[in-house]
Structure 1
Amino acid sequence: MTPRVRVLEVMEPPDGTTRYADQLVEHLPESVDIVWFTWRRALTCRYDVLHVHWPEWLVRTRPSTLPRRLATRAAFVALMLRLRVTRTAIVRTEHNPEPHEPGGRTERALLRWLDRRTSLRVHLNALPGGEGPSDVVIPLGHYREQFGVHPVSTRVPGLLVYFGKIRDYKGVDLLLEAFAAARADLSLRVVGNPQTPQWRSLVEDAARADPRIGYVLEFVADDTLVAEVTAAELAVLPYRDLHNSSVVLVALSLDTPVLIPSTPVTRAIAEEVGPGWVHFFEGTLDTADVHRAVDALRAAPPTGRPLLDARAWDVIGASYARAFAAATRSSALARPSTNHPEPAQIAR
């Protein structure tokens, strides 16, 4: 029997839309009690596991003023010392090897401290060298149940869609540049919330210059997302860097083929889901990549549905429960670590 574990989740709580947080918590067994992160809870409440997803979330502030940065770093130091004294386990789900937007020297020192204190790492993909004693592989889950309740659109031949947050590493500028030279039978929808006003202006300017481009530049509800994605012949995700992506799984959950960068991770996804669903580009996306993917898709359209059985959320939830319990046992047996930054490093 899996022992009861209280977990402090370091991410925003569910808000009624379909997100990773909702999926994970909904499918955890009753043996796991979830508490959502606030600094007050982190520093005063009882919990067995601190579950970190994007560690930079613990040391960055918005707006990033000097007083706020200093206060957040002081709180981080207090948290780390408390975790050490109480021997609380730290579980980190490694969504990305490094933050997409790099931080400064102080941030890197603080995050190295967190890394050294981590009891168990959850990897979303198989490790090339196999799992070590402090590693476990639990993949991202699919979104068929959650999005399956919404009506789908009729596919529009030649329609491409980009969806998701619009930020630097996702390469929307590369997509707009490639699409500008695309043949006349193609059209493009850009759906997502821009991270900066500059990204918003970039999309709006491209749409003014090319009537084939349409957009919805905001966070959209689930029903709107389903309608946009299922209308497209192909989802194009021109990322500069892709290690893991829920967006890819959303598209595949909605039976929409994807064009994504070729990496070991994305090649493994292609093998998993079956032929015809995943198309690749090498390096930087260009117009030829778009034409090649559309032509290949039309010449050999996929049949059935993508194979996503290994990504069922009830299996994922049970795996996380076992991981939390194992981390708690490991942390209880370990001596408190003395590996932490010098005070001078923290103050910088």
Structure 2
Amino acid sequence: MTARPAAVTVPVPTDSTPTEEDPAAMSADVPAAAPRPFTVLQSFPEPRETTNPYVVMLRDALDAVPGTRVLTFSWRRALTAHYDAFHAHWPEILVDGNGPLKKAVRQGLFVLFLLRLRATRTPLVRTVHNLELPEGISRRERVLLRWAERATASRIRINESTELDAGTPVETIVHGHYRDWYAPHPRRERRPGRLAFVGQVRRYKGVDALVEAFGETTDDGLSLRIAGRPTSEELAAHLRDAAAADPRISLSLGFVPDADLVGEVSEAELVVLPYREMHNSGGALAALSLGTPVLVPDNAANRRLAEEVGDGWVHTYTPPLTGADLTGTLARLRAAPPAAAPDLSRREWADAGRAHVAAYRRARAALRR
């Protein structure tokens, strides 16, 4: 069991960035120049339609904090621009590339980037989206990512149940909701008996286990909808074979735009997320933001989420997932539907924006000391 990280006690500096003053401001007739904004470089490029909404909402929340400037990532900015902190989300993306040449160039740039952060004493702050390094990466990528870990000045976890070692300061800033993000898109009428998995289909998310468990049910009033882009043709073929064998299963195997995601989730009676490993889930928060209950593995993080949002919204099962888990959850949900909307008041993005800026400033102040 790893030790729970100690609370950060470093005070927030009142002005952790130097003020660039106009020499003429020494005159009583000329007002002093405004302080330079605290600038943070994010590890993602300018958002596109397929960009994870989490980082887009974070960028917007940071932009709304007075005195803060946000830069999205490019190698030119990383190596030449002025910024006060660097915030990494999935650093493995920075050492990967399409083809051996592009990957090698990126890895060389990554080395220069880490050296620049060290030379300028600029803090690297990392959000711990995943606890382990990605599978299937090369030895060189692993070495570079371990180096980035050692260079990290502060880590941000997005739920209180994530246990991290005590070697690097840890901040807790919970994952924000999606209510505002999805508000522009119309919802569909709820379809009784509809179970759904919506989101990118990765092996660790256990969609194959969901299909197998659904096959154990015999109720023709049930249906299973899987919408999302598989990460391999092998996964896609497996899902197509399953759907062909059971007319109650329907598929949409491709990128799911926001409008379609809102439709798929709001149409479901229950969203099922049978992840083999689950400590953070944007999928669960997306479903709850759209007023759809979820079924998730039983663990500390999901029990805490269930307590936070209120009765009837987060249902858990003990792995492996079975057909009885699906039908039993629907029965309980129908017998005692939620009495109120899920409570997501702890997950306002304005609060998250201010908390992130405070974390960046603490990391910079500590590193400079």
TM-score, structure 2 as length reference: 0.84
DSSP-derived class of the 1:119 partner: strand
Identity %: 43
Q: Report the CA distance between 1:259 and its aligned residue.
A: 0.6
Counterpart position of 1:42: 78
1:286 aligns with 2:319: no
Tell whether the 8 Å contact from 2:194 to 2:267 is kept in structure 1 after alignment. Answer: yes
1:11 aligns with 2:44: yes
Unaligned runs of 5+ in 1: 334-348
1:33 aligns with 2:101: no
In the aligned structure 2, how far is the partner of 1:70 from the partner of 1:254?
42
Q: 1:16 to 1:166 in 2, by over 3 A?
A: closer
Matching residue's letter, 1:151: P
In the aligned structure 1, how far is the partner of 2:317 from the partner of 2:97?
35
In the aligned structure 2, how far is the partner of 1:69 from the partner of 1:149?
38
1:158 aligns with 2:168: no
Counterpart position of 2:366: 330
1:135 aligns with 2:135: no
Q: Report the CA distance between 1:322 and its aligned residue.
A: 0.9
In the aligned structure 2, how far is the partner of 1:262 from the partner of 1:57?
30
In the aligned structure 1, how far is the partner of 2:95 from the partner of 2:73?
13
1:82 aligns with 2:82: no
Unaligned runs of 5+ in 2: 1-13, 18-36
1:20 aligns with 2:54: yes
DSSP-derived class of the 2:244 partner: helix
Q: Report the CA distance between 1:331 and its aligned residue.
A: 2.2
1:273 aligns with 2:309: yes
Q: 1:130 to 1:188 in 2, by over 3 A?
A: closer
Deviates most, 286-295 or 87-96: 286-295
1:170 aligns with 2:205: yes
Q: Report the CA distance between 1:125 and its aligned residue.
A: 1.6
DSSP-derived class of the 1:235 partner: strand
Q: Report the CA distance between 1:294 and its aligned residue.
A: 1.2
Matching residue's letter, 1:68: K
Counterpart position of 1:197: 233
Counterpart position of 1:69: 103
Equivalent of residue 220 in structure 1, options 256, 264, 271: 256
Q: 1:76 to 1:240 in 2, by over 3 A?
A: same
Counterpart position of 1:98: 132
- Give per-residue Cα distances to partners, 1:129-172, cap 9 Å, x unaligned: 89978221100000111212322111111000100101111111
Tell whether the 8 Å contact from 1:100 to 1:169 is kept in structure 2 after alignment. Answer: no
Counterpart position of 1:234: 270
Matching residue's letter, 1:241: E
Equivalent of residue 146 in structure 1, options 170, 181, 201: 181
In the aligned structure 1, how far is the partner of 2:124 from the partner of 2:236?
38
Tell whether the 8 Å contact from 2:59 to 2:70 is kept in structure 1 after alignment. Answer: yes
In the aligned structure 2, how far is the partner of 1:209 from the partner of 1:100?
33
Matching residue's letter, 1:83: L
1:126 aligns with 2:160: yes
Counterpart position of 1:346: none
- Give per-residue Cα distances to partners, 1:280-307, cap 9 Å, x unaligned: 1222222122122112111211111111
In the aligned structure 1, how far is the partner of 2:161 from the partner of 2:303?
14
Q: CA RMSD in A?
A: 2.0
Q: Report the CA distance between 1:101 and its aligned residue.
A: 2.8
Tell whether the 8 Å contact from 1:31 to 1:321 is kept in structure 2 after alignment. Answer: no
Equivalent of residue 311 in structure 1, options 339, 347, 356: 347
- Give per-residue Cα distances to partners, 1:257-282, cap 9 Å, x unaligned: 00111111111101101111111122
Report runs of 4+ in structure 1 exceeding 4 Å deviation: 127-133
In the aligned structure 2, how far is the partner of 1:195 from the partner of 1:12?
21
Q: Report the CA distance between 1:60 and its aligned residue.
A: 2.1
In the aligned structure 2, how far is the partner of 1:16 from the partner of 1:104?
29
In the aligned structure 2, how far is the partner of 1:130 from the partner of 1:104?
24
DSSP-derived class of the 2:171 partner: strand
TM-score, structure 1 as length reference: 0.89
DSSP-derived class of the 2:46 partner: coil
Counterpart position of 1:180: 215
Q: 1:241 to 1:325 in 2, by over 3 A?
A: same
Greater length-normalized contact order (CA 8 Å, ≥ 6 residues apart): 1
Tell whether the 8 Å contact from 1:229 to 1:235 is kept in structure 2 after alignment. Answer: yes
